[in-house]
Amino acid sequence: MTLPIDLSPEVAAARANGTAIVALESTIITHGMPFPQNVETARLVEAEVRAHGATPATIAVIDGRIHVGLSDAQLTALGQARGVAKLSRADLAACVAAGGTGATTVAATMICAHLAGIGVFATGGIGGVHRGAEASFDISADLMELAQTPVTVVAAGAKAILDLPRTLEVLETQGVPVISYGQDDFPAFWSRASGLTSPLRMDSAAEIAAAHRMRGLLGLPGGQLVANPIPVEAEIPRAEITPHIETALAEAAAKGIAAKAVTPFLLQRIFELTAGRSLAANIALVLNNARLAAAIAVELARKE
């Protein structure tokens, strides 16, 4: 049996030539942003990766095949489709086997990127430990994926709707290096600072690429989380976003929103509560992450 994976012509050429590639996820398109900004952002992110010397590989499952690198038509169709499945590690094989279509989360995108030989991936914010997880047990599979799949994930930290101290604790327990880029504070998605000291700090793409290589050389499984703070001009300061997060969380609890629906519900409500500012910030931070991921991919593609 051959793997049900299709590389786009551009990604296949980059693989053959050993040039830099950056994986991109699709849940941010289908569940993280409204149409049409989702499709516009996905295109801008791909352009940003190209402008910084790497090939973009947006990943999704379409009609039972894992697509690594989407055509513009596929991207648009995915961005407009309703009720698309959100695929994490637990859902991936069943969806592919059934010939289904779905968007990949951070966890599933890491798995597919690794299958395609891609070591770097850019997104917005990873999933993590939800507030109240001591009762709900809601901890994103993204954290355990970082512990077992050798892909460096560039994000603006974990989403601030989460319990950030507990998210860092789980990452430490799982042996995941958490590297904040250019600052000591662990970033909080829409805000540059969380008030939590980052376990590790690096100031260049070359250092991050060297650490990625060394993990492989030492036989350590798993990847790295690179936490890249949102650009200053786009950030929503913590004091400003916190009340909106609290409101959205209270509404989610009152409505009994659970499991996979939690993160999309909170992102949508915070978008409404901030009159669209959270989306503008989200777009800016993803583009910023695409730039850093491209720089890391270029370093990794260098012949030693």
Subset of residues 128 to 147 that bind ligand PSU, contact rule: CB under 6 A: 140, 142
Q: Is 272 part of the annotated catalytic residue set? A: no
Among the listed residues 14, 25, 198, 293, the single contact to ligand PSU using CB under 6 A? 25
Which of 22-30, 114-122, 146-154, 195-203 is the region at the interface with ligand PSU (rule: CB under 6 A)?
A: 22-30
Subset of residues 137 to 196 that bind Mn ion, contact rule: CB under 5 A: 138
> Smaller CB distance to ligand PSU: residue 25 or 299?
25
**Residue 112 is a binding residue for ligand PSU (CB under 6 A):** no
> Smaller CB distance to ligand PSU: residue 124 or 177?
124
Q: Minimum CB separation from ligand PSU for residue 33, in Å?
A: 7
Given Mn ion, ligand PSU, none, residue 123, with its beta carbon under 5 to 8 Å by kind, binds ligand PSU
Q: Is 159 part of the annotated catalytic residue set? A: yes
Q: Minimum CB separation from ligand PSU for residue 300, in Å?
A: 22
Which of 2-10, 123-131, 171-179, 223-231 is the region at the interface with ligand PSU (rule: CB under 6 A)?
A: 123-131
> Smaller CB distance to ligand PSU: residue 14 or 61?
61
Count Cβ neighbours within 10 Å for each residue of 49-71 and write b for 16 or more, e otherwise.
beebebbbbbbbbbeeebbbbbe
Among the listed residues 79, 125, 222, 223, the single contact to ligand PSU using CB under 6 A? 125
**Residue 123 is a binding residue for ligand PSU (CB under 6 A):** yes
Nearest-angstrom CA–CA distance, 111 and 131 = 26
Per-residue 3-state assignment (H helix, E strand, C coil) for the chain: CCCCEEECHHHHHHHHHCCCEEEECCHHHHHHCCCCHHHHHHHHHHHHHHHCCCEEEEEEEECCEEEECCCHHHHHHHHHCCCCEEECHHHHHHHHHCCCCEEECHHHHHHHHHHCCCCEEECCCECCEECCHHHHCCECHHHHHHHHCCCEEEECEECCCECHHHHHHHHHHCCCCEEEECCCECCECCECCCCCECCEEECCHHHHHHHHHHHHHCCCCCCEEEECCCCHHHCCCHHHHHHHHHHHHHHHHHHCCCHHHHHHHHHHHHHHHCCCHHHHHHHHHHHHHHHHHHHHHHHHHCCC
Catalytic residue among 145, 159, 235, 299: 159
Q: Minimum CB separation from Mn ion for residue 284, in Å?
A: 25
**Residue 187 is a binding residue for ligand PSU (CB under 6 A):** no
> Smaller CB distance to Mn ion: residue 91 or 138?
138
Q: Which stretches of the chain bind ligand PSU, using CB under 6 A?
A: 25, 27-28, 31-32, 105-106, 123-125, 127, 140, 142, 260, 263, 267, 282
Q: Which stretches of the chain bind Mn ion, using CB under 5 A?
A: 138
